[in-house]
Amino acid sequence: MYSFNRRRFVKASIVSSFLALFSKDSLAGTVTPPEIEGPFYPLTPQKDMDFDLTSVIGREGTAQGQVVFIEGQVVDQNSNPVEDATVDIWQANAAGRYRHPHDTNPAPLDPDFQGWAIVQSGKQGKFKFKTIVPGAYPVNKDWTRPPHIHFKVSKRGYSELTTQMYFPANELNSTDILLQAKSKNEQQLMIARTVSESPFTLEYIITLGSA
What is the bridge-based pairing of β-strands 200-207 and 67-75?
parallel
* Interatomic CA distance for residues 206 and 75, integer angstroms: 6
Question: Does residue 157 sit within a domain?
Answer: yes
Question: Does residue 170 sit within a domain?
Answer: yes
**pLDDT 10s digits, 144-187:** 999 999 999 999 999 999 999 999 999 999 999 999 999 999 99
| Active-site residue list | 98, 137, 145, 148, 150
Q: Helix (H, G, I), strand (E, B), or coil: what is residue 115?
A: coil
Question: Does residue 1 sit within a domain?
Answer: no
- pTM: predicted TM-score of the whole model, two decimal places: 0.88
Number of domains in the chain: 1
Could you tell me where the beta strands, DSSP code E, fall in the chain?
Answer: 67-75, 86-90, 116-120, 126-132, 137-140, 143-145, 148-154, 161-166, 193-197, 200-207
Cα 6 to the center of its chain, rounded Å: 18
* Interatomic CA distance for residues 211 and 192, integer angstroms: 25
Question: Does residue 34 sit within a domain?
Answer: yes
* Interatomic CA distance for residues 200 and 194, integer angstroms: 8
Q: Helix (H, G, I), strand (E, B), or coil: what is residue 119?
A: strand
Q: Range of 73's domain?
A: 6-207
* Interatomic CA distance for residues 135 and 94, integer angstroms: 4
Question: Does residue 109 sit within a domain?
Answer: yes
| Domain harbouring 185, CATH code | 2.60.130.10
Please compute the mean of the pLDDT values over residues 20-34 and round it to a whole number.
75
Q: Residue 18: is its pLDDT beyond 90?
A: no
Question: Does residue 92 sit within a domain?
Answer: yes
From 24-38, 70-84, 140-154, the region with the lowest mean pLDDT: 24-38
**pLDDT 10s digits, 37-65:** 999 999 988 889 999 999 999 999 999 99
- Percentage of the chain exceeding pLDDT 70: 88
Instruction: Please provide the DSSP assignment of 73-106 as one string.
Output: EEE-TTS-B-TT-EEEEE---TTS--SSTT----
Q: Helix (H, G, I), strand (E, B), or coil: what is residue 203?
A: strand
